Structure 1
Amino acid sequence: MGACVSTSSKSTCSSGSNGGEAAPPSCLGTVFRGQKRTRRTFFDHVVTLQNLSSVPNRIFTNGKSRTSCIFTQQGRKGINQDAMIVWEDFLPEDVTFCGVFDGHGPHGHLVARKVRDALPTKLLSFLHSCESRQNGSGQTCFKPNPRKPDIGDAEKDISAEDTLNSTWREAFMKSYKAMDKELRSHPNLDCFCSGSTAVTIVRQGSNLFMGYIGDSRAIMGSKDSNDSMVAIQLTVDLKPDLPREAERIKKCKGRVFALQDEPEVPRVWLPFDDAPGLAMARAFGDFCLKDYGVISIPEFSHRTLTDRDQFIVLASDGVWDVLSNEEVVEIVSTAPSRASAARILVDSAAREWKLKYPTSKMDDCAVVCLFLDGKMDSESDYEEQGFSSATLQSNHSGNAVESDDGTKSEPCLQRNYTVRSSEESNNYSRLATDVDETGEAVAAEDQCWSGLEGVTRVNSLVQLPRFSEERPEPDP
């Protein structure tokens, strides 16, 4: 079983409140040791992993919530290694957490599920720490100041916005670091040659905060001045050939190159062995490469949402390998119902795999669609699309039955040689991510980011390394 998140609280759950204040949305109030509580705070519903099953408005299997729909489908490589989550009422002040996690390696499915469960609670824990630090200052570091018209105090408003942005950045950085540290020391989960990507977003009112590693992607559907739907890419696919990523890896003695049979798929290799061939520059786990340039430090960004922004799509690379950003926005915006959008998108990706690459094995696909106006279809519309309760609990997608004991059959690393043509790949823009010499992600607001389009491949790893604990020194 997974280890618990370390917090400074004990969780209790009651069925309701009797004449006092209303219970927090998760019905999991906390009592902090050594503190005398007179009111419930923003973080009364910080929970441990054992309590997750009782948290309302948190979905992680095929279905819908008040504002979202999610769907995953197993590919043809073995067990589904993708995981996803939507957690509404993540914080009481109109905050929603969404994430997609794409595992790879022999135990990638377990890593992805572990990150899905533990990362959000770590984020809550670090935000609670911020609240505790600010308790005596009269400030609230995680809550934007309400608008105060006609007070002529723009500088203070900017300062408050900067504080909010800085707080979320710190929380993302610390929670990602703590997540990777927990995976390294996990007693029952071998992450040496297994890992997971992560693309996570927090929507707080009109603020959108994003943290991500690996090559899962987030995009947004928005209306332009002509009321036409356009695709806006929100994250960058962190591939090994991005200049800053490649530079960091090479400084750490790692190697970056593509195989002859897949020239458009750059991979990360050990300095002394042609393994494991990781097709991304950042990931949770993959500790065989952590000394050689692969990091788990997330890229962080903030965006202010407008009325023109319609929805956000998070998806694993099984979708992006065969569908463009524009195609995804078109599919979601024209879906018969919002509740069916994620399922239809996955079905479209599956068809494209068969059409474009009929001899290759389809990758796992996972999709989260978050509708920014907070509206979903009526229940009748939902049922008309075939989403009965029995369907939502079915196991045809390969993710409804979950276990951390590794008893399921593990995916093989058998190679399949499907890549895009050189002509297609030359059309893709390549832009580096900013990382300073210590590996810390730095802001890049002054740059116009454009991410790599996905390059089709079947396995994120080529083969497992062959060496003992005493590793040979690379040749001079």
Structure 2
Amino acid sequence: MGICISVASSEIHQAEDCQENIDSNGILRFGSLYSKQGSKGLNQDAAIFYQDYGMESGAFCGVFDGHGKNGHIVSNMVRNRLPTLLLNQKNVLANTKTTADDKNSQWKEACISAFKVMDKEIKLQENLDCSTSGSTGVVVVRQGEDLVIANLGDSRAILGTATENGIKAVQLTTDLKPGLPSEAERIRSCNGRIWDVLNNNQVASIVMEAESEQAAARAVVEAATASWKRKFPSSKVDDCTVVCLFLQNQKEQHHI
């Protein structure tokens, strides 16, 4: 049981499935979450910061960028359902595997399985046409000293580390963007475009310099929005959503 904050509704939930039992006293202890609607219409982003996920001091962080006519519905479905699917898959595997060496492979298998089940559940919705709608998904799970990363699409996870020479940013996921030849061809065939407004080091620096853990996500979103307007003044600003997970107290931090 943990505290779960969903950005689309700004509600704080305390339930295993993150969908009910609203608790207005929930507080994010080691991170922040912020989403800002762009100028294209309805905010199709959804995000989650689930505290005590799977274990005390565990966490589930996720950002889901919907696209297409029903993208907002898809991204919200994924946000509400994926945390439970993933943990259920992991628990099933933990009960069937026999050695401790299987922990990493269990999480990998659980992530792949949960994403596939989530995709099937969306397609089986009777009143939802998702033929031209969908969502990206980037997930970071903290379990003790371990981080589990999973992604599909071009939402990104970054690890920021404080060093003697400043902030070092390490990209933890691979964007399905034009840098990959097969993805570049797919995007071109669909007349698509890709927007990058802040690089990894800029994001890590903004987070590290934020007034507090709670202010970090909003600081990144506001900086990204301002950068978009400068770089692409004739284009409508996209929705922007950020989740920040601090692995240490900000005053003592080495990793974000």
Q: TM-score, normalised by structure 1?
A: 0.47
Distance across 2 between alignment mates of 1:69 and 1:47: 20
Question: Which residues in structure 2 correspond to 1:157-196 (within 5 Å)?
Answer: 160=100, 162-196=101-135
The one-character-per-residue Cα deviations of 1:62-113 (angstroms, maximum 9, x if unpaired) are xx61111110001111100111101011112432110001011111111111
The one-character-per-residue Cα deviations of 1:346-371 (angstroms, maximum 9, x if unpaired) are 11111112212111101110000111
Distance across 1 between alignment mates of 2:45 and 2:139: 14
Is contact 1:353-1:362 (8 Å) kept? yes
Distance across 1 between alignment mates of 2:188 and 2:117: 24
Tell me which of 187, 191, 196 is aligned to 1:267. Answer: 187
Is contact 2:55-2:143 (8 Å) kept? no
Tell me which of 42, 51, 66 is aligned to 1:103. Answer: 66
Is contact 1:69-1:340 (8 Å) kept? yes
Distance across 2 between alignment mates of 1:334 and 1:345: 10
- Corresponding position: 1:65 with 2:28: yes
Which residue number in structure 1 is paired with residue 10 of structure 2?
A: none
Please give the secondary structure, in 2, of the residue aligned with 1:175.
Answer: helix
Larger Rg: 1
Is contact 2:161-2:168 (8 Å) kept? yes
- Corresponding position: 1:92 with 2:55: yes
Distance across 2 between alignment mates of 1:133 and 1:221: 36
Please give the secondary structure, in 1, of the residue aligned with 2:110.
Answer: helix
Which residue number in structure 1 is paired with residue 159 of structure 2?
A: 220
- Corresponding position: 1:229 with 2:149: no
Structure 1 residues 368 and 361: CA distance shift in structure 2, 3 A: same
Shift of 1:238: 1.1
Name the count of aligned residue pairs.
241
Distance across 1 between alignment mates of 2:221 and 2:95: 42
Tell me which of 83, 90, 112 is aligned to 1:127. Answer: 90
User: Match of 2:203, as an amino acid?
Assistant: V
Is contact 1:85-1:116 (8 Å) kept? yes
Shift of 1:219: 0.6
Is contact 2:86-2:114 (8 Å) kept? yes
* Greater fraction helix: 2
Shift of 1:344: 1.4
User: Match of 2:109, as an amino acid?
Assistant: E
Distance across 2 between alignment mates of 1:131 and 1:323: 39
Tell me which of 15, 20, 35 is aligned to 1:53. Answer: 20
Structure 1 residues 337 and 241: CA distance shift in structure 2, 3 A: closer
Shift of 1:57: 10
Distance across 2 between alignment mates of 1:112 and 1:130: 26
User: Match of 2:20, as an amino acid?
Assistant: S
Question: Which residues in structure 2 correspond to 1:196-207 (within 5 Å)?
Answer: 196-207=135-146
Distance across 2 between alignment mates of 1:84 and 1:117: 9
Is contact 1:26-1:56 (8 Å) kept? no
- Corresponding position: 1:337 with 2:212: yes
Distance across 1 between alignment mates of 2:51 and 2:250: 13
Q: TM-score, normalised by structure 2?
A: 0.84
Structure 1 residues 214 and 69: CA distance shift in structure 2, 3 A: same
Structure 1 residues 197 and 268: CA distance shift in structure 2, 3 A: farther
Distance across 2 between alignment mates of 1:278 and 1:223: 36
Unmatched runs of 5 consecutive residues or more in structure 1: 1-24, 28-44, 140-159, 247-255, 258-265, 270-275, 280-316, 377-476
Shift of 1:220: 1.2
Please give the secondary structure, in 2, of the residue aligned with 1:210.
Answer: strand
Shift of 1:229: 1.3
Please give the secondary structure, in 1, of the residue aligned with 2:20.
Answer: helix
**Higher normalized contact order (CA 8 Å, seq sep 6+, divided by chain length):** 2
Unmatched runs of 5 consecutive residues or more in structure 2: 4-13, 252-256
